[in-house]
Homo-oligomer: A and B are copies of this chain.
Amino acid sequence: MKQDISTMADKIRYVQDTLQMINGKWKVPILMSMYGGKNRFRDIQRNIPAITTRVLSKELKDLEANKLVTRTVHDGKPVSISYTLTAYSHTLTPVVDEMIKWGKQHRKGGL
């Protein structure tokens, strides 16, 4: 078995890289709400309490720029637009799952 020879400074840099991808209050919740498949803007918004269209719009653009979501325009009358998670975004699942676990066990509001 190999041991982890990363220095603490390395680890801090890794974490900072991760944080840059999912920074802010909204990105992880948005990704979570999209797990099902195709998602329309309005549906995502309904799934995230209290997010405004302005913020959601900006966050979706960030996520797209980071290759975590894909935006697709479906022609038709009227055109519909859907957002889907990329395969890449699924690599974040272990991180997100640990965050869910922690929040569940330690939330202040009680169970």
Mostly, the A contact residues are: helix
A98 proximal to B (CB < 8 A): yes
- Residue in B16, B28, B100, B105 whose CB lies within 8 Å of A29: B16
Within 12-48 of A, Cβ neighbours of B (below 8 Å) are at: 12-19, 21, 23, 25, 28-29, 32-33, 35, 47-48
Chain A contact patch, size range: 35 or more
Question: A18 and B103: CB pair below 8 A?
Answer: yes
CB distance B33 to A107 under 8 Å?
no
Q: Please, which residues of chain B bring their CB within 8 A of the CB of A35?
A: 8
In the complex, A106 has a CB within 8 A of chain B: yes
Assembly CA distance A23 to B29 (angstroms) = 14
